[in-house]
Structure 1
Amino acid sequence: MDGLKNWIMLTAVLLSCAGQAAPEVLIPAGEYKMPAKLNQKSIKVAEFKIDMRPVTNAEYLEFVRQNPQWRKAGVKKIFADSSYLSYWPADLEFGDKSMANSPVVRVSWFAAREYCAWKGRRLPFTNEWEYVAQSPYKNRTEIRELILEWYGRGAEWPLASVEKGSANRFGVHDMHGLIWEWVEDFNTALVTGESRADGGLDKNLFCGAGASGAADPGDYAAFMRFAFRSSLQARYTVQNLGFRCAK
């Protein structure tokens, strides 16, 4: 009887989320300086929309229901490594109902892009994500300390629900303190080690040696983000790596 009751409750949660994408927030055009970039002038960002919060397990479940090729048992290994959705006990089950509103993680860049396209959206570009992420929740020193404290904790499990913390000045939640997030151009800072091949790449995005000339050498968190992105491959899935969509 308890099993039936739990199943009914979980079904109600899923039905409430099914087919619903995260609410969009309109981000006005503006400009900012990439803290981790050497001698960087202001970067202009055109108006765009971004999800108010990361994509959740319940939302991703609806995606794999309608797109069987992205279920954990059927996804092609070229598009996702062996850890893809590994915390889901089954193709169409993410576990305890309390995880319905937690961000989906262990999804590859390919899978995240496909989900966003299914919703008529796309992944945000690095400049867009950083522009929103640098919009302070409090003052700059406080948010920097919050981010570094989060980075220092390491991966936590299970993940908290989305929208638990306060939004930034744009009304966007969970840019820091919950998960890392895929961006469309995550690999533009990749260094191969071959100097001729790397001629057009900006190594100073994540190289500690370049910090002395960076726009904001004190923003260690920004260097960490670029270092993390540069370590990824498109098929990788990571325990604390999810995504949100833009438009």
Structure 2
Amino acid sequence: MVLVKGGTFVPLYGGDSTAVKVQSFLLDVYPVTNQQYLDFLQKNPAWRKSAVKKIFADQNYLRGWETDLSYGPNPEKISNSPVVSVSWFAAKAYCECQGKRLATVEEWEYAAMASETKANAANDEKFYQRSIEWYSQPNPTYLPPVQQSFKNYYGLYGMIGLVWEWTQDFNSALLIGESRANASLDRQLFCGSGSSGAKDTKNYVAFMRYAFRSSLKANYTVSNLGFRCAQSLQP
């Protein structure tokens, strides 16, 4: 894990104040790999493909895996690739077994703003453009090893350009309506008109992440959605 030194940043959607404060925290250098997840499954059989309850993971859970304890026909190619097709429940259980947790949306977005040389690359057009180019690409047949992905200012690999990642409060991206009308609001929808409340309208990649998160449910599994773990600093 590496230390992500706390500070303030402007999230895509904020409250009354423009900037939010993020406390210093620890974050895994890499997303969790297939081999690491296999090690978890060997010790926690309840999370294997044949045993997991559907309330905790949909039918596509670990879809590319051949068996409960085999993650594919070419294990040497993907052992260090990020594990994908795991649900929020599974990711949360994995991190808790390591004595960790999932990062919050604010922590993840704060750490993901870093380029190779800047902790905050909010005004770096090249950084945004590279992010957009990755989001527009189709998934490769084999995801690359996590060590070969983009390394940012904090020493974190793959925050951009590898896989989407679960966050602890992923559903906080859902937009809420005016209080008197909340009862009739469909909370599964990410309303396009909500962009009027965005603090940084040029940050298109953040729009994409928030829209993606808002489409998820905790038991969903997606072929390019992985995770990494975080940890709060002890007082």
TM-score by shorter chain over 0.5: yes
Correspondence for 1:170? 154
Paired residues in the alignment total 220
The TM-score, its normalising length taken from structure 1, stands at 0.82
Unaligned residue ranges in structure 1 (runs of 5+):
1-23
Residue 106 of structure 2: aligned partner: 127
1:48 and 1:86 mapped to 2: Cα distance? 32
Counterpart residue number, 1:34: 11
In the alignment, structure 2 segments of 5+ residues that lack a partner are none
The offset of 1:135, in angstroms, is: 1.4
Judged with a 3 Å threshold, the aligned counterparts in structure 2 of structure 1 residues 128 and 207 are, in CA distance, closer, same or farther, namely same
- Contact between 2:10 and 2:19, CA under 8 Å: does it hold in 1? yes
Residue 160 of structure 2 corresponds to residue 181 of structure 1: no
Q: Are 2:22 and 1:45 aligned? A: yes
Identity among equivalent pairs (%): 47
Note the alpha carbon deviations across 1:41-75, whole angstroms, 9 max, x for none: 11100111000110000000000000000011111
Q: How far apart, CA to CA, are the structure 2 residues paired with 1:183 and 1:74? A: 24
Q: Are the equivalent residues in 1 in contact too, given 2:13–2:197 (CA < 8 A)?
A: no
Describe the shift of the 1:146–1:94 C-alpha distance in structure 2 as closer, same or farther (beyond 3 A).
Answer: same
Q: Does 1:196 align with 2:175?
A: no
Alpha-carbon spacing, 1:213–1:80, altered in 2? closer, same or farther (3 Å): closer
Output aligned runs, 1:52-91, within 5 Å: 52-91=29-68
Aligned partner letter, 1:136: S
Partner deviation per Cα, 1:194-247 (whole Å, 9 max, x = no partner): 932488x9x9xx644344553221111101100000000000000000000000
Deviations along 1:168-190, whole A, 9 cap, x unmatched?
A: 11111100111000000001122
The Cα of 1:142 is off from its aligned counterpart by 1.1
Task: State the Cα distance separating 1:154 from its structure 2 match.
Answer: 2.9
* Distance verdict in 2 for CA 1:197–1:47, change over 3 Å: farther
Name the SS for the 1:90 alignment partner: coil
Distance 1:39 1:209 in 2: 19
- Identify if the C-alpha distance between structure 1 residues 212 and 47 changes in structure 2 by more than 3 Å, giving closer, same or farther: same
Asked which structure has the greater CA Rg, the reply is: 1
Q: Does 1:159 align with 2:143?
A: yes
Secondary structure at the counterpart of residue 26 of structure 2: strand
The 1:101/1:198 distance shift into structure 2, 3 A limit, reads farther
Q: Distance in 1 between matches of 2:57 and 2:51?
A: 10
Check the 8 A contact 2:175/2:191 in 1, yes or no: no
Render the CA deviation track for 1:123-160: whole Å, top value 9, x for unaligned: 00000000000112365211111111111113332111
In the aligned structure 2, how far is the partner of 1:39 from the partner of 1:168? 30
Cα contact 1:45–1:128 (8 A) shared by 2: yes
> Aligned partners of 1:241, 1:135: CA distance in 2, in Å?
21
